[in-house]
């Protein structure tokens, strides 16, 4: 009897252990699905990088989760005043590294930089999220991998490599900006302010072009930012009056991650990577926080943020700060 009791006792414990192990496996599988396979978007992600050297050579690197192109790519796109983007390519040839080097001239202004473009998206839908000059590049090792990392930005060289020595009298801000853009070869720009300002006299004594533009923008209560190579100077009145053709609806069903966090001016929001969200654009934010019982359902203006992701990480998100329109 004692032996039989011991046998049944041990058998029950074994079944209990097996049950616990199975439950743990189910929990791990559910976590993996939610963390990596959310809406199956993990397996649809697409990333493409295009590099063009100063002499016109072009190389394209893609990561297609369901195709034959499986280059390892990581990226971090900041959309703020500088629009600085960091891109990493794994295990590329030396010839690719050489393509990132600038072509120098006798003067600093003669330097021709390599350029790069970054496209991201899902499935067959790719969107351009960053483009610009390659400002710097480096090669490093991480375990068996050799990683090329480079940084790109729109017009950053022109804004901070030129010193402005000019005096303007009895001139409108729009006219001063247009003259400066012509002199420093900024051809792709937009002036979007409701009221111009007449400057009696203003002198610049060697300040950077970026500083000068910011100072003039304040005269018309506007802000400076970039949008895919376009320099935009815009005030709040223009933003309020002009609606985007595509306003992103962001809620639990369209990629909102967690609860937005309250900031001084609005909200900090995280969602599945959405290329349509960028500085100066509007989003319609809709969410209900069950903990605080607060509800938001209105339009907001994106102030700054980032797109971050890659083929070697579970991260593939957009995070941004916004304020009420």
The whole-number pLDDT of residue 81 equals 75
Dist CA 26 CA 3 (whole Å):
35
Q: How confident is the model at residue 31 (pLDDT cuts 50, 70, 90)?
A: very low
Write the CB contacts of 151 (distance below 8 Å, at least 6 apart in sequence).
84, 85, 86, 87, 134, 135, 136, 137
The two structure tokens encoding residue 196: 């111009």
Q: Domain end: 132, 153, 174, which one?
A: 153
The whole-number pLDDT of residue 240 equals 75
Beta bridge partners of 130: 118
Query: Tens of pLDDT along 210-254?
Result: 999 999 999 999 999 888 888 999 998 887 777 666 789 999 999
Residue 197 inside a domain? The answer is yes
* DSSP three-state, residue 285: strand
Average pLDDT over all residues of the chain:
85
Indicate the range of 12-21, 150-159, 315-324 predicted with least confidence. Answer: 12-21
Pairing assessment for the beta strands 73-79 and 45-52 based on DSSP bridges: unpaired
Let me know whether 28 and 64 are in one domain.
Answer: no
Let me know whether 263 and 233 are in one domain.
Answer: no
Let me know whether 46 and 79 are in one domain.
Answer: yes
Dist CA 98 CA 162 (whole Å):
27
- What is the DSSP code string of 68-137? S-B--EEEEEEESSS--EEEEEES--HHHHHHTS-B--SSGGG-B--EEEEEEEETTEEEEEEEEEEEEE
Q: Domain end: 205, 238, 271, which one?
A: 238
Give φ, ψ of 178 to 5 degrees. Answer: -60, -40
User: For the chain, what is the domain count?
Assistant: 4
Residue 227 inside a domain? The answer is yes
Residue 122 inside a domain? The answer is yes
Q: Domain end: 238, 266, 298, which one?
A: 238
Residue whose pair of structure tokens reads 């600038």 in the numeric block: 102
Dist CA 43 CA 61 (whole Å):
18
Dist CA 280 CA 285 (whole Å):
15
Pairing assessment for the beta strands 316-324 and 266-272 based on DSSP bridges: antiparallel
Q: How confident is the model at residue 9 (pLDDT cuts 50, 70, 90)?
A: very low
The two structure tokens encoding residue 28: 């791990």
Q: Which residue, 150, 202, 200, 207, is CA-closest to 184? A: 207
Residue 106 inside a domain? The answer is yes
Let me know whether 65 and 145 are in one domain.
Answer: yes
Q: How confident is the model at residue 323 (pLDDT cuts 50, 70, 90)?
A: very high
Let me know whether 144 and 165 are in one domain.
Answer: no
Q: Which residue, 280, 261, 263, 281, is CA-closest to 271? A: 261
Q: How confident is the model at residue 14 (pLDDT cuts 50, 70, 90)?
A: low
**Residue 64 pLDDT exceeds 50:** yes
Determine the Cα angle at 223 with ends 210 and 242, to 5°: 140
The two structure tokens encoding residue 38: 């959310």
Residue 243 inside a domain? The answer is no
Beta bridge partners of 142: 145
Let me know whether 222 and 305 are in one domain.
Answer: no
Let me know whether 110 and 62 are in one domain.
Answer: yes
Let me know whether 261 and 315 are in one domain.
Answer: yes
Let me know whether 101 and 143 are in one domain.
Answer: yes
Instruction: Specify the DSSP element, H or E, that contains 20.
Output: helix 2-36
Percent of the chain at pLDDT exceeding 90: 61
Determine the Cα angle at 307 with ends 217 and 61, to 5°: 115
What is the extent of the structural domain holding 104?
Answer: 41-153
Let me know whether 75 and 139 are in one domain.
Answer: yes
What angle do the packed helices 209-219 and 173-183 form, to 10 degrees? 160
Let me know whether 169 and 270 are in one domain.
Answer: no
Let me know whether 14 and 58 are in one domain.
Answer: no
């Amino acid at each position: 009897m004692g032996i039989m009791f011991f046998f049944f006792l041990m058998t029950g414990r074994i079944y209990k252990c097996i049950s616990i192990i199975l439950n743990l496996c189910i929990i791990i599988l559910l976590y993996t699905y939610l963390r990596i396979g959310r809406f199956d978007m993990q397996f649809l992600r697409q990333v493409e990088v295009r590099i063009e050297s100063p002499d016109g050579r072009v190389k394209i690197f893609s990561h297609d989760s369901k195709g034959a192109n499986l280059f390892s790519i990581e990226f971090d796109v900041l959309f703020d005043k500088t629009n600085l983007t960091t891109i990493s390519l794994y295990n590329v040839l030396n010839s690719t590294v050489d393509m990132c080097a600038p072509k120098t001239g006798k003067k600093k202004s003669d330097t021709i930089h390599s350029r790069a473009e970054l496209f991201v998206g899902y499935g067959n839908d790719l969107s351009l999220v960053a483009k610009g000059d390659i400002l710097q590049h480096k090669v490093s090792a991480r375990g068996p991998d050799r990683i090329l990392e480079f940084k790109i930005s729109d017009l950053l060289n022109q804004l901070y490599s030129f010193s402005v020595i000019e005096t303007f009298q009895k001139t409108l801000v729009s006219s001063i900006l247009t003259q400066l853009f012509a002199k420093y070869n900024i051809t792709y720009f937009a002036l979007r302010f409701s009221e111009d300002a007449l400057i009696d006299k203003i002198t610049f004594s060697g300040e950077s072009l970026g500083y000068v533009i910011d100072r003039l923008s304040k005269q018309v209560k506007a802000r400076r930012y970039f949008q895919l190579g376009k320099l935009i100077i815009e005030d709040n009145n223009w933003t309020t009056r002009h609606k985007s053709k595509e306003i992103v609806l962001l809620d639990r069903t369209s990629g909102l991650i967690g609860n937005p966090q309250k900031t001084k001016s609005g909200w900090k929001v995280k969602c599945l990577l959405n290329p349509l969200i960028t500085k100066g654009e509007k989003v319609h934010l809709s969410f209900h926080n069950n903990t605080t019982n607060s509800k938001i359902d209105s339009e907001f203006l994106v102030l700054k943020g980032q797109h971050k992701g890659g083929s070697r990480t579970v991260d593939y998100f957009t995070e941004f700060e916004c304020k009420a329109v």
